[in-house]
Structure 1
Amino acid sequence: MNAPQRISTPFSAESTAAEVAAGIDLTGRRAVVTGGASGIGVETARTLAGIGAEVTLAVRDLAAGEQTANEITATTGNDRVHVAPLDLADRASVTAFVAAWDGPLHLLVNNAGVMAAPETRTPEGWELQFATNHLGHFALATGLHRALASAGGARVVSVSSSAHLRSPVVFDDIHFARRPYEPWAAYGQSKTANVLFAVEATSRWADDGITANALMPGGIRTNLQRYVSEAELDRLRAEAGPSAFVWKTPEQGAATSVLVGTSPLLDGIGGRYFEDCAEAEPHRPGTRNGVAAYALDPEAAARLWAESVRTLAG
C-alpha cells in the first residue's frame, strides 16, 4: 500500500496566521480556543474572528479572557467573541463547560498547556502536565463529540510540540509513580499524547465527518515558558543547537494552528502532524524537527484512548 501523500502548502515558518487565513470565510462557523487569552491562543482566536467565526475563549482567567475578547472585537469588528471558564486540570470544570455548550461546534483548538512544570499532582494524583495537556483536552473533545458531529466537517486542532521527541507515552508509569520525575520527559510524553489523540480521534470519528490533526507551532516567547529560566534555555540551546531556537512572533506561531483548522488543503485529512505550515517529515536522529514514529503509531493511539477513558472514569 502506498503511503498517503504528504501535505504541502504555499506557506512557511515565516508565514503569519493572517496570511494563512487570507481568502477563507468562516461566517456561520463556531470555534472554541482553549487558552485563548494568552500567547498564540490570542492570535489564533483573533485570526478566526477576523475571518468571521464565532469564537469562544475557554480560559482559566476570566478577567484576562474578557479583556482579550474585547480587544479582538475592537481589532476585527467581530462582536461574536465569547469567554467561558475552563480549567483543564479540573474534571468538574471540563464537565461544566461541556454541559453549557449548546449547538454545533465546527472547530475545536486544543491550544492551552503547561510546560516543564515542577512536579505537581492533581487531586486525583495525576501528573499535572499529562492531566492538563492531554487528559483535560481528551475529556473536552470527547464531551463535545456530539456538537462536533452535528456541525458536519468539524476539525479538532491538537497543539503539540517538537518536545514530543523527548518521550513516548510511558504506559507503564504515565504519572511518575515509580520513576524519578523529570519536567521535560513529562512534558514530552504529554505532547506525544496530543499527536496520538489526533490519530485515534480521526480513526474513530471520521464517519462523523470529524478530522483531527496535531502540530508544532514553533518556538514563541509566551507565558507557556514561565517555568523555564534563561539558564535552562541556554542549556537547551547548547543541547539542540542554535537553529532549534529561532523564535517566531505570536502571529507566526499561530499560523500552523490556523492552517490546520481552516485550510481547504486539509479537507478530509486527519491523523497527521504539521510544523511550519506543512505536514512534517519523519524525524531524523540528531535533529529537533519532524515527527517521531511512535507519535503516529495507531496501536499506541488506541491504547492511549482506552487508558484515558479508564483514567477519567476512575
Structure 2
Amino acid sequence: MSRITTPFTRESTAAEVLAGVDLTGRRAVVTGGASGIGVETARALAAAGAEVTLAVRNLEAGEKVAADIIATTGSKGLYVAPLELADRASVRAFATNWQGPLHILVNNAGVMAEPLNRTPEGWEHQFATNHLGHFGLALGLHPALAAAGDARIVSVSSSAHQRAGVDFDDIHFDRRPYDPWLAYGQSKSANVLFAVEAAKRWAPDGIITNALMPGGIRSALQRHIDEEDPALKATFESYPWKSTEQGAATSALLAGSPLIDGVTGRYFEDVNEAERTVVPGLSGVAEHALDPEAAYRLWELSLDLIAE
C-alpha cells in the first residue's frame, strides 16, 4: 500500500488545496466550526460551493462566523446548529434533526489537556468529547452519509496521539492518576482508530474515512495550557506554528479534494499521508493508532458506552 502524496506542503492553505475544486451540491457538517481551524475548513468548503452547517456549542459565535464566511465567499448555503459533543442527548438531537444526504462530516471540535472533568456518566471529558461524541454523531448520521453514496468523514487528530494509546483497562482514569496530556493523547489515538475501523465497516456504503494532524495552530484549544510553565515555555517558543489557514489545509484535502478519492483508513499531516517514522511531538503516525485489533475493540466498547 503506497503512501499518498500531493503537490501541497505544510505551508499550503485550505483555500489553495481546494482551488478549482467544485463542491456544488455537496453538503457538509463541521463540528467546532465557530473557532480555530474549523472556521477556515468551513470557509474553504463554502468557497468551493458546498453547503456547510456549523455544528457549535455557542450559537451566537456560530452565527457571527457564518456571516463572515458568507461575506467572504458569497455562499448562500451557510447554516448553524447546536451541538454539545459531551451530551448524548445533544448528539442524538443533531443527528435526528438532519434531513437528506450528508456528503462531508468533519469531526473537528475538541478539548485539549484540561483539568480532570467528568460527564454525568462519569466519563473522562476529553475522551467523551473528542472521541465518544464524534463517534455517536457519525453513527447517528450514518444513514445520511450512506445516502450520499460517496461520503467522506474527516477525523481531526493530533501528533499528541503519540503520547498514549487507548488504555482499555482504565479509559476514564478511575484508578490511575489523571494526566491531562495522557488523556488528550488517548482521545487523539481514538480519533485515528475510529477512522481505521469506520473505513472497514462503512466501505460498502461508499463512505471513506481518514484522520489527520493539522499542525500546531494558536487557538482557543490551548486555553487550559499555562505557556509560562517552565516545562512548556521553551517548547511553545520553538514550536513550528502554522497559521489557521495552513492548519485547515489537511482537513480541506480530506474533505473535498479529488486527490484522495477512494483513499480510506489513513492518517495525514501537512497535506500528505504521514510517514510511519515518528518524530515525537512533531510528525509521523504511531503504530498503536493504526492497530486494527485496537480499532475493532474501541468501536465495540464505544457502542456499549453510548448505548448505556
- SS of equivalent residue, structure 1 residue 6: coil
- How does 1:168-207 map onto structure 2 within 5 Å? 168-207=165-204
Q: Does 1:126 align with 2:120?
A: no
Q: Deviations over 1:35-75 (max 9, x none)?
A: 00000000000110001000000000000001111111011
Q: Is the 8 A contact 2:227 2:233 kept in 1?
A: no
- How does 1:110-125 map onto structure 2 within 5 Å? 110-125=107-122
Identity of aligned residues (%): 69
What TM-score comes out, normalization by structure 1 length?
0.96
Q: Is the 8 A contact 2:149 2:206 kept in 1?
A: yes
Quick one: distance in 2 between partners of 1:174 and 1:80? Answer: 39
- SS of equivalent residue, structure 1 residue 157: strand
- How does 1:73-92 map onto structure 2 within 5 Å? 73-92=70-89
Quick one: distance in 1 between partners of 2:233 and 2:108? Answer: 24
> Of residues 29, 49, 52 in structure 1, which corresponds to 2:49?
52
- SS of equivalent residue, structure 1 residue 230: coil
Quick one: distance in 2 between partners of 1:63 and 1:186? Answer: 30
Query: 2:64 — aligned with what?
Result: 67
> Of residues 101, 105, 119 in structure 2, which corresponds to 1:104?
101
Deviation of 1:230 after TM superposition, in Å, equals 1.3
Query: 1:235 — aligned with what?
Result: 231
Per the alignment, do residues 273 and 286 of structure 1 end up closer, same or farther by CA in structure 2, a change over 3 Å counting? Answer: closer
Q: Deviations over 1:92-127 (max 9, x none)?
A: 000000010000000000000000010000000000
Q: Deviations over 1:144-171 (max 9, x none)?
A: 0000000011000000000000000000
> Of residues 283, 297, 302 in structure 2, which corresponds to 1:303?
297
Q: Is the 8 A contact 1:283 1:293 kept in 2?
A: no
Deviation of 1:263 after TM superposition, in Å, equals 1.5
Query: 2:248 — aligned with what?
Result: 254
The list of structure 1 runs, each at least 4 consecutive aligned residues, that deviate by more than 4 angstroms after superposition, is 237-241
Structure 2 portions without partners, runs of 5+: none
Deviation of 1:5 after TM superposition, in Å, equals 0.8
- SS of equivalent residue, structure 1 residue 231: coil
Quick one: distance in 2 between partners of 1:192 and 1:102? Answer: 31
Per the alignment, do residues 76 and 164 of structure 1 end up closer, same or farther by CA in structure 2, a change over 3 Å counting? Answer: same
For the aligned residues, what is the CA RMSD? 1.3
Q: In the comparison of the two structures, how many residue pairs are matched? A: 308
Structure 1 portions without partners, runs of 5+: none
What TM-score comes out, normalization by structure 2 length?
0.98
